[in-house]
Structure 1
Amino acid sequence: MRKDIEIPQVSGVYVAAVKDFNVEHRTHDWNAYLINDTEDTLEMVMIVSKGYGEDKVTSQMRHKLDELPAKGYAKVEFIEDSVLALTNEFAVTYFLDGKLFEKNYVFDAGVISDANTEPLPSMLQEGVLAK
């Protein structure tokens, strides 16, 4: 029965866009990070990302992390400047205490910018949090 299915709510897990300095190219580039602001380790983390707009669609990118420690974070992917004008979506799935959690995080078109940065949980940097 549907009423018997427990759907756990995701809390304390975020996707953020952070502008990092790229030493090799000497540029400031946007990167997507997965942040675990919980007290538990996330296991078997899968992330599927894509960008889309009215007439443009990017390829889907898939990423896997075996574990993401408590109060930790991991760089997921580079965000190329041309996709900042698109809506960018990150579907995150992981196991915690033997339960499957999932949530879609969305950066609306144009929201990833220096003007929208704020302090991030569990990171000593500023960035833009996805909804």
Structure 2
Amino acid sequence: MPVLFPYLSQTSDGGDASLMPMLPLALQFQNSPPIQTLGMLDSGATVNVLPFSLGVRLGAVWDAQTTRVTLTGNLARQEARAVLVQARVAHFAAVPLVFAWTRADNVPLLLGQMNFFGQFDVCFHRTRRQFELEPAQK
């Protein structure tokens, strides 16, 4: 059964506010305690992106992550490493998500095609200011 989530107001660096599909979720790296956070659903993003400070809070160590990831678009100049975390959304079972952990902190936690949208089916209802989400039927 899908779960409905509201779009949330987000303020840009320039002070502009807009409604965005922000998903509350808990992330856990290895055996560290889970951290509650918000991730922006971005169906145009190729990969999931993890801001540097959130990776550190999760307990990841930059030099221990040896798989390099090449980012594109606005983040093309940022170095990134692959990090595998467990993610729990609502009452659904935890799923593994691979993130491009970037040195940048001026980026939201992005949930993209590889592999968030492979784990969950999402339906956006922009005019109703909500989206629904459920685990992918495999």
Higher relative contact order at CA 8 Å, sep ≥6: structure 1 or structure 2?
2
Please confirm whether the aligned pair reaches a TM-score higher than 0.5, indicating the same fold: no
After TM superposition, the score normalised by the length of structure 1 is 0.29
After TM superposition, the score normalised by the length of structure 2 is 0.28
Larger relative helix fraction: 2
Larger radius of gyration: 1
